[in-house]
């Protein structure tokens, strides 16, 4: 049985990843770590440790004491927050990743970390963006993500560390809200649809971005980590996506369930500039070919499920 340590366990992905891993591999085999403790399913359903990922010594000790054989490094600042504080973002995103890779090398752990569509930039082909292409991002987050992809490849080539990763699109979930991302509008819109019947989007109509529903994202992580190493030609930064849409299309999908729903626009120039620098849609065929990536949710199916789950959550 695997012994998996997860950093950033109380974040948007971590909150659900921990529960999925605990149900697949056993609660005691999945150690959740985060810089803060907030009483939740994550902290109450299995082992939890406070950990600042910029503290390499503590990270080593926590991983060693737990007897980890796998590291999933999720702690990171998202794109819009990183743009507000680029030096802090560099230190946290790159420092945390380097520490997680070093600890994994020292203890010989299988390693996962997510990259993002943010690793692409304005000169990247915009439509059906290939797996291997031009990457000149113009955001601090993007610079971190490209550097991280290269660093993970380096640890595999140089030290034989079993590093694996995907480029996630915007992730939509009904458990923990994302914080400080550019694609967050596609989560907020569901909350506001139920709470107020309307939503004002900070992303302009016509701005396409890739998205994926959280259950598909979690399954992708498990499938990639379980994949036969010999079949992986790319190891890190696999393009994965389930759908590409722009704000009026998600609004139309919500309108099918809540006919009175209305969308308006009040564009935030910072997040709009980030979105404009990212692809409209990416090509996940390398992930499909090398480890059988598959997404089960399209926009309509996700919308029905999101609204159903959020109705219960919001009461």
Q: Is 48 helix (H, G, I), strand (E, B) or coil?
A: strand
Q: Shortest gap between Cβ of 194 and ligand AKB (angstroms)?
A: 21
- 199 included as an active-site residue: no
DSSP string, 171-213: EE-SSSPP-S-STTHHHHHHHHHHHTSEEEESS-TT--EEEEE
Closer by beta carbon to ligand AKB, 167 or else 235: 167
CB of 152 to ligand AKB, least distance (A): 16
Among 11, 181, 247, 279, binds ligand AKB (CB under 6 A): 181
Tokens of residue 88, six digits: 């802090």
Which residue lies nearer to ligand AKB by CB, 79 or 201? 79
Comparing CB distances to ligand AKB, the nearer of 21 and 117 is 117
Distances (CA, A) of 307 to 41, 174, 254, 290: 21, 9, 8, 34
Residue nearest to ligand AKB (CB): 181
Min dist CB 12 to ligand AKB, Å, is: 8
Show the binding pattern over residues 26-65: x = contacts ligand AKB (CB under 6 A), - = does not.
----------------------------------------
How many CB atoms sit inside 10 A of residue 195's CB? Answer: 11
Sign of CA dihedral 129, 132, 136, 137: positive
Residue 134 CA, chain-centre distance (Å), reads: 21
Q: Which of 129, 183, 207, 236 touches ligand AKB by CB under 6 A?
A: 183
Q: Does the footprint of ligand AKB cover residue 243 (CB under 6 A)?
A: no
Q: Where are the alpha helices (DSSP H) in the chain?
A: 12-25, 41-44, 56-66, 79-84, 86-89, 95-107, 140-159, 185-195, 214-226, 247-257, 269-277, 285-291, 299-314
Within residues 128-157, the interface with ligand AKB by CB under 6 A covers 141
According to CB under 6 A, which one of 144, 163, 182, 277 is a site residue for ligand AKB? 182
Does residue 104 bind ligand AKB (CB under 6 A)? no
Candidate segments 103-111, 126-134, 163-171, 257-265, binder of ligand AKB by CB under 6 A: 163-171
By the 8 A CB rule, do 291 and 224 touch?
yes
Binding site for ligand AKB (CB under 6 A): 78-79, 116-118, 141, 168-170, 178, 181-183
Catalytic annotation, residues = 141
């Amino acid at each position: 049985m695997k012994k998996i340590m997860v950093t950033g366990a109380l974040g948007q992905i971590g909150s659900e990843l921990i529960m999925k891993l605990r149900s697949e591999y056993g609660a005691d085999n999945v150690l959740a770590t985060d810089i803060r403790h907030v009483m939740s399913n994550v902290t109450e359903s299995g082992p939890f440790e406070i950990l600042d990922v910029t503290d390499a010594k503590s990270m080593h000790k926590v991983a060693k004491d737990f007897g980890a054989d796998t590291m999933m490094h999720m702690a990171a600042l998202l794109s819009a927050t990183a743009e507000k504080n680029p030096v802090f973002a560099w230190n946290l995103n790159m420092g945390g990743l380097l520490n997680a890779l070093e600890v994994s090398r020292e203890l010989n752990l299988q390693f996962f970390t997510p990259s993002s569509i943010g690793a692409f930039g304005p000169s990247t082909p915009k439509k059906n963006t290939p797996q291997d292409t031009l990457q000149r991002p113009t955001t601090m987050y993007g610079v971190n993500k490209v550097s991280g992809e290269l660093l993970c490849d380096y640890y595999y080539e140089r030290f034989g560390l079993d590093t694996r990763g995907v480029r996630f699109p915007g992730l939509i979930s009904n458990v923990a809200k994302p914080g400080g991302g550019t694609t967050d509008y596609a989560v907020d819109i569901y909350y506001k649809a139920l709470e107020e019947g309307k939503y004002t989007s900070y992303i302009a109509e016509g701005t396409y971005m890739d998205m994926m529903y959280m259950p598909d994202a979690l399954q992708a992580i498990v499938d990639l980590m379980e994949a036969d190493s010999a079949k992986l030609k790319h190891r890190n930064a696999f393009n994965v996506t389930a759908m590409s849409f722009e704000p009026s299309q998600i609004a139309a999908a919500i309108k099918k369930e809540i006919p009175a729903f209305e969308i308006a626009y009040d564009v935030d120039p910072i997040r709009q500039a980030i979105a404009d620098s990212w692809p409209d849609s990416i090509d996940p065929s390398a992930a499909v070919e090398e480890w059988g990536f598959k997404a089960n949710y399209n926009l309509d199916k996700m919308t029905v499920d999101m609204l159903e789950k959020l109705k219960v959550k919001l009461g």
